Amino acid sequence: MSDPKNTPYAIRTYDADELKGALRKMFLIRKFEEGAEDSYTRGLIHGTMHLSIGQEASAVGSCMSLSDDDKITSTHRGHGHCVAKGADLGRMFAEFFGKEDGYCRGRGGSMHIADVAKGNLGANGIVGGGLPIAVGAALSAKRLGTGAVTVCFFGDGANNEGAFHEALNMAAIWKLPVVFVCENNRYGMSTSTEKSTAVKHIAERAAAYNMPGVTVDGNDFSAVTEAVDSAVARARAGDGPSLVENLTYRWRGHSKSDRNRYRTKEEIADWMERDPIGQMSALLVTHKIMSENDVAALESETEQVIQDAIAFANASPSPAVADATRFVYTDDAAA
């Protein structure tokens, strides 16, 4: 009999339906962003966007132990976080297309999708902008005694912002229920972490704020889930914040205007070999949760979901010109 200790955390902790659901969300993130990229090329999306293709395990794994009452704050590269927290894909595409059925009635676009009903306090176009919001949400939960935990996603570029240090310090002083999840994809726009950050691992900075810090393979769903689940449990028990660093990689450029001259083809190809969806699929097949045919069928099903979501967005009405300045601020009383 195999030693249970050698069984990956995710297999030991989650049942088959939960694991299949996680892989489905990872496929949905990948297909959603490929669909968005195609729509951008067709002129259906204006402005720019920041794709997280290659980072799906970080988004989904970090949200596994969260309920709709728990909160997340996201980044400019936040499509995956929205999907992981249960966003409606048709409304996301409608927001991209500037349509009335979008999450912000088409006023926000790619970088400003929020879904308060699911606990998603929103993506943010400001680097590091979600960090103080997450601390505020965690302070609110503690003062109100809701038991909710906030997971704060941010990128490696944000770890040198003042907001990062202020947020971690304040969260530690007040022992707030917040988990800081750094998605270190190695580049802040075109500048590598080696050229911009004094420490080798961003998680080392947790020691300065008297909280646990851990660095994991961000393309390994089980490793991400184990690290974040432990931090969420700690926060929920009243023991304060943690910092988790997920080492990952974006396959695409920083944004649609990125000419990608700071990375080699060999480096990109090496990371594509570590495809988090391929790893997750192999994990579930190895442990007989799914067959290879099941995985292929799941991928096909998600492709149809994306086509339906795009059709919904295309059919959604455009805002009336007379309403262009309306609905900028929410009418809801509280998050």
Hey, what are 279's tokens? 């790893």
10-26 residue pLDDT tens:
999 999 999 999 999 99
Whether 52 and 218 have beta carbons less than 8 Å apart is answered as: no
Whether 27 and 277 have beta carbons less than 8 Å apart is answered as: yes
Mean pLDDT estimate for the chain: 95
C-alpha count within 13 angstroms, C-beta hemisphere, residue 196: 17
Whether 50 and 97 have beta carbons less than 8 Å apart is answered as: no
* Fold of the domain spanning 16-312: Rossmann fold (3.40.50)
The pTM assigned to this predicted structure is: 0.95
How far is Cα 274 from Cα 56, in angstroms, rounded to an integer? 12
Predicted pLDDT of residue 25 = 98
C-alpha count within 13 angstroms, C-beta hemisphere, residue 241: 33
Query: Minimal CA–CA distance to 229: which of 107, 88, 66?
Result: 66
Splitting the chain (335 residues) into consecutive groups of 10 residues, what average pLDDT does each group show?
79 98 98 96 90 97 98 96 97 96 92 93 94 98 98 97 98 98 95 95 98 98 98 98 98 88 95 98 98 98 98 96 83 56
188-246 residue pLDDT tens:
999 999 999 999 999 999 999 999 999 999 999 999 999 999 999 999 999 999 999 99
